[in-house]
Structure 1
Amino acid sequence: MGKIIVVKISKLTAKHKISVRELSRISKVRHAALSELANRRRESISFSHIVRIAEALNIEDIREIIDLIDSKENN
Structure 2
Amino acid sequence: TFRAEKSKTRRHLQEFWMVEPEIAFCDLEGLMEVEEQFVSHIVQRCLRDCAPELQVLERDLSHLQNVIPPFPRIHYDDA
State TM-score, norm by structure 2: 0.29
State TM-score, norm by structure 1: 0.30
- Which has the larger Rg? 2
Looking at secondary structure, tell me which structure has more helix per residue: 1
